[in-house]
Amino acid sequence: MSFQLPETTTFRTSDGISLAVDFHGGRARSLVVLSHGIFANRRLEEIQILARDLLPFFDVVAFDCRGHGDSRGRFTFGKREWRDLADLAKSYRNSYEKIAGVGFSFGGFHTCVAGGLTQCFDSLLLVSAPKNFGILDHNPFCSGLWKSLRLVAGRKRTWTRLSAAFGKRTMPMDCVKWVEAPVHILHGDDDWVIHHRHGRLLFEAAAEPKSLDILAGGIHAEYMITQMPERFLGLVKRRLLQDLPPRERR
């Protein structure tokens, strides 16, 4: 299937925030919702690469989390974002047999909480997701940091609007056990931002069916798409195809 420019729309959250949404494809049986990490956006090169790679099998939605890219509002560090994601996924429910959520880093945080609290997904794939806010639990000056510097420096960014991170919120570790859909966890063993023990602990807490893939040499979140494209993209497709019916061939 050829990759065409996405259809760009807006989605209004329950508290009136306008989110920018890109819809790729059409007439597939399953939908994959991509959630980027903090300081990223839906037009990130890596997100676009993943959308193109998934499109022969599924329709794809990528959106700007509140406070990011073309979306309005301020990022609330997990207080509101999971609800935005759950409501967005549910808005497509009548159009698809299955819906998967794929989240990177903080996007994995939102995907896990949305799936655990609302059961809005039929499959979850969490990439470099934190179990909670305790991410300063390791020495970041590992080989993964130095391998990431070129990619970090070359990333095109947009201004991110943040709110205070104070107050109580639901953490992925609190609710991953409530997810009724398959949970697939991917983490690089050279992730200098969020140590792979977060992925292991989320995996241990999740109910079956579940899978854990610790990628040797893998760095953080979306950066693995450009670091090891064939390996990473192949694994993502394989995990999603375990749970979702693919696009019908014409």
pLDDT digit string, tens, across residues 27-85: 999 999 999 999 999 999 999 999 999 999 999 999 999 999 999 999 999 999 999 99
Domain range holding 69? Answer: 7-242
| Distances, alpha carbon 158 to alpha carbons 42, 43, 114, in Å | 11, 10, 25
Identify whether 90 is part of a domain.
Answer: yes
- Looking up residue 48, the CATH number of its domain turns out to be 3.40.50.1820
25 with 55: CB under 8 angstroms? Answer: yes
Three-class DSSP category at 221 = coil
Q: Which of 3, 38, 37 is nearest to 22 (CA)?
A: 3
pTM beyond 0.85: the answer is yes
pLDDT digit string, tens, across residues 132-182: 988 767 666 667 665 766 666 667 777 899 998 788 899 999 999 999 999
pLDDT of residue 84: 98
pLDDT digit string, tens, across residues 90-108: 999 999 999 999 999 999 9
pLDDT of residue 218: 96
Identify whether 71 is part of a domain.
Answer: yes
Number of separate domains in the chain:
1
